[in-house]
Amino acid sequence: MAADIRITRRGLLGGAGAVLGGALLGPVAGVPPAASALAAPRVHTRSEWGARPPASPAQVMDRAPDRIVVHHTATPNSADQSLEHAFALSRSIQAYHMDSNGWADTGQQLTISRGGHLMEGRNRSLAAIHAGDHVVGAHTANHNSHTIGIENEGTYMTTGPTGPLWDALVETCAWLCGVYGLDPHTAIVGHRDFNATACPGDVLYARLPELRNEVAGSLGVRSVAPRSVQVPSGLPGPRRAFDHGPAVGPGERTR
């Protein structure tokens, strides 16, 4: 580990001045000052984007995830960066996951639009993050019990994300690493690191070492020399919208 910033969840939440949900995190022993001072990003809630009620409440685990999984939505690379478009995207994802996949709700915990708008996905996700807990999603087959998923709007097989999306992804990953006490160099991964899929796209996957270093810089953690990444994956890209690879394993009860 490049720098040991892992701490216990209770230690983080019990530190002096540690208040989540948009306020600053106060000093916490064992975390670099930059990490302790990070503010939570603006997260648009389910009620704001007009989510449907879930078929059943999400499972909340009294522990932190250990990996942040980066996905792409496998949707067109829209030029519309408005908040209205972002909200419509979240509604479309939820409709597909519930009506086509038969899941109880949106699969991922967080979604970032091409305009850089960050939105809550699966029900109870935002409250769980604020508490240092983990909502079990449906985004990475056989690994949903220990990973938190971020869907990034677009398809990144041959092109990269917009500047606003990238900036929001860096900010979001830094926030999650600070809340959960994770080392960005080991915690931030791509969907293809766990499942046979091209997700999050060859171009975005190739930028994960850069993402880890930018997040590390935000946290005051030493950057490391980028490790080589296998690009391209050799696997086919999305066949249709929202097709980003295996999301739920046969032994996983969460849908």
pLDDT tens, 205-222? 999 999 999 999 999 988
- Classify residue 107: in a domain, yes or no: yes
pLDDT at 46 over 90: yes
Q: What angle do CA 12, 130, 151 make, to 5 degrees?
A: 115
| pLDDT for residue 27 | 34
Band of pLDDT at residue 1, cut at 50, 70 and 90: very low
Range 84-113 average pLDDT: 97
pLDDT at 235 over 60: yes
Range 141-167 average pLDDT: 97
pLDDT tens, 162-207? 999 999 999 999 999 999 999 999 999 999 999 999 999 999 999 9
- Classify residue 193: in a domain, yes or no: yes
Q: Which of 45, 69, 54 is nearest to 119 (CA)?
A: 45
- Classify residue 207: in a domain, yes or no: yes
- Classify residue 213: in a domain, yes or no: yes
Domain of residue 204, CATH code: 3.40.80.10
| pLDDT for residue 5 | 34
d(CA 142, CA 64): 17
Q: Is 165 left (phi over 0), alpha (psi -120 to 50) or beta?
A: alpha
pLDDT at 112 over 70: yes
- Classify residue 106: in a domain, yes or no: yes
Average pLDDT, the chain: 86
Percent of the chain with pLDDT over 70: 83
Give the E-state strand segments of the chain in sequence order.
Answer: 43-44, 60-61, 67-72, 110-112, 118-120, 134-135, 147-152, 188-190
pLDDT at 83 over 50: yes
- Classify residue 74: in a domain, yes or no: yes
pLDDT at 156 over 50: yes
Total number of domains in the chain: 1
pLDDT tens, 11-45? 333 333 333 333 333 333 334 554 545 789 999 99
- Classify residue 254: in a domain, yes or no: no
pTM of the complete model: 0.85
Question: Higher confidence at residue 138 or residue 237?
Answer: 138
pLDDT at 88 over 90: yes
d(CA 121, CA 123): 6
In this structure, of 7-16, 50-59, 66-75, 186-195, the range with the lowest mean pLDDT score is 7-16
- Classify residue 55: in a domain, yes or no: no
| pLDDT for residue 233 | 77
| pLDDT for residue 39 | 82
The two structure tokens encoding residue 44? 């648009």
d(CA 154, CA 113): 8
Residue with tokens 């975005």: 204
Name the β-bridge partners of 134: 61
Question: Structural domain of residue 141, as residue ranges?
Answer: 43-48+60-219
d(CA 152, CA 104): 21
| pLDDT for residue 229 | 64
| pLDDT for residue 47 | 98
| pLDDT for residue 228 | 57
